[in-house]
Structure 1
Amino acid sequence: MTHPYLTGTAHPRVLAHRGLARPDEHISENSFAAIATAHAAGAVYVESDCHVTADGEVVLFHDDTLERITGDRRPIAEVPLRELEQLMADRGGLATLAQSLEAFPTTRFNLDVKAAAAAEGVGRLVAEHAARVLVTSFSDERRLAALAAVGGDRPATSPGSRTIARLVGAVRLLMRGTAMRLLRDVDALQIPERQSVLRVLTPRLIDWAHDAGVEVHVWTVNDPERMRLLVAQGVDGIVTDHADIALEVLTR
């Protein structure tokens, strides 16, 4: 059965990668304003990343440290919430996970658990919103820890990099039974087209995923023509930094 996260919305999916940043307007990626901008552009899905502050608050932030966004070299985990809010005040505003789920009740969040310390908090916070949340992580351990903390109906989920590597190997070796087992209990494969020289996305991978009832979402695609080609190949979702452009291109 298709998870509610993937029902009742337009196909192909457009996932706003870290919201919709506007650097010229001082709106940083993953900020509260970036989510609001994506929402205003018509994006139903917002992809974001989860870290935890020194005082235990789950926040939407990609990097381990503040350096790239604010110039501060400290890790997120060493900065308390109030100070982080001050640092992000002129960059679109800090987005906590709790605040974002409440402020954008129609938005479907695609959450990448970046820190092990954030996993339990993510699971606890999304428990009441499982129908509109997908939980993923490069680490299957972090992903499963977050899902275990939910307790009730589970959110949608996409596997970690180790599982995806095994799946790609199974597809290349024509090990369909193994591939089907790896696709069990996931709702989407969120993958790049390639990893270094290795081709990840292939027609057979798309076909087998669809046979298992699993969608295929490709990240991070910013070229409009590439978006069209991927959708023509059968890809179900495009993760992009330019959700406004993708929505125009893919719904035209």
Structure 2
Amino acid sequence: MADLRAIEPGEGFFAGPLPRILAHRGLATDAPENTLLAFLSALSSGVTHLETDVHSSADGIAVISHDADLARTAGITGRVDELDFAELQKVDLGRGQTYPSLEETLLAFPEARFNIDLKSDAVVGPAVAAILSAAATDRVLVTSFDNARRLRAVRALPGVATSASAAPFAGALFAVKLGLVPLARRLLRDVQAVQVPERLRGVQVITARTVRLLKRAGVEVQVWTVNEPADMRRLLDLGVDGLITDRADLALLLRNERSGPA
């Protein structure tokens, strides 16, 4: 008989042990960030989740890049959305790497789970198309600081995992600080995770209490960007579910250390 159990959004993305280690832009200790080499380095260290960002090229291809321009990563002037993908592929990022497309990245690492930050309105359609073309909906999480942008992608990808954008999370944080868990649950009803800094504009976001109440509201709590082992330990002691980190290798060692012998 067929399994009639409802599949929860993000079931594939959220498979695996806690705490989750998300390699922020891959592992760039010996590779340019957000490149195929950085993703391979992260996966080779043993992590399963990759955090990345996408912009649209001038010809409508979802391109892996955190920045809107090429200055910091490539040392040249120009914007991602001003260049065709063929032109972006000619840009040297070092170590033989260039800007990959989202689709080729998803296809290159078919077992990896990807946390994808939609950096512009223009990239929503191309990112959705890339995820569908790679048949990767069940192993990605899509998010954006902009809630309308995030919702456009979620509606086009039934069953996809997603995390809270800035506005609904701000309301939910206010609710849990007042102890209003049912209100927080309503505000976060369409997401499976919150991905937040420990502090934001002078406000302490992550405390043992807020973590506990956010979990009661039905979401995982993942914190960015945590690179020091002492901070990783402290946050895990507070009960967070995931660390988004530039040092996924160190975070994985810490998780293994805390889990004890097999």
Q: TM-score range by the shorter chain?
A: over 0.9
TM-score for both structures, normalised by structure 1: 0.93
Instruction: Name the SS for the 1:94 alignment partner.
Output: coil
- Following superposition, the deviation at residue 173 of structure 1 comes to 2.5
- Counterpart of 1:17 in structure 2: which amino acid? H
Aligned residue pairs total 247
Higher helix share: 1
Q: Tell whether 2:174 aligns with 1:165.
A: no
Residue 184 of structure 2 contacts residue 217 of structure 2 at CA under 8 Å; is this kept in 1? Answer: no
- Partner of 1:239 in structure 2? 244
Q: Which runs of 5+ in 2 are unaligned?
A: 1-7, 258-262
- Partner of 2:72 in structure 1? 68
Q: Which runs of 5+ in 1 are unaligned?
A: none
- Pairing of 1:1-252 with structure 2 (within 5 A): 1=8, 3-22=10-29, 25=30, 27-88=31-92, 90-91=94-95, 92-127=97-132, 128-150=135-157, 153-252=158-257
CA distance in 1 between counterparts of 2:155 and 2:115 reads 17
CA distance in 2 between counterparts of 1:48 and 1:116 reads 16
- Identity fraction in percent: 40
Deviations, residues 163-200 of structure 1 (Å, cap 9, x unaligned):
11111111223332221101212111100001121111
CA distance in 1 between counterparts of 2:82 and 2:58 reads 5
- Following superposition, the deviation at residue 214 of structure 1 comes to 1.1
- Partner of 2:5 in structure 1? none
CA distance in 1 between counterparts of 2:54 and 2:98 reads 15
Deviations, residues 72-122 of structure 1 (Å, cap 9, x unaligned):
221110011111111136352322110011110110000000011001221
- Following superposition, the deviation at residue 2 of structure 1 comes to 7.0
- Counterpart of 1:59 in structure 2: which amino acid? V
Instruction: Name the SS for the 1:216 alignment partner.
Output: strand
- Counterpart of 2:21 in structure 1: which amino acid? V
CA distance in 1 between counterparts of 2:60 and 2:75 reads 22
Residue 228 of structure 1 contacts residue 250 of structure 1 at CA under 8 Å; is this kept in 2? Answer: no
TM-score for both structures, normalised by structure 2: 0.89
Instruction: Name the SS for the 2:22 alignment partner.
Output: strand
- Following superposition, the deviation at residue 209 of structure 1 comes to 2.3
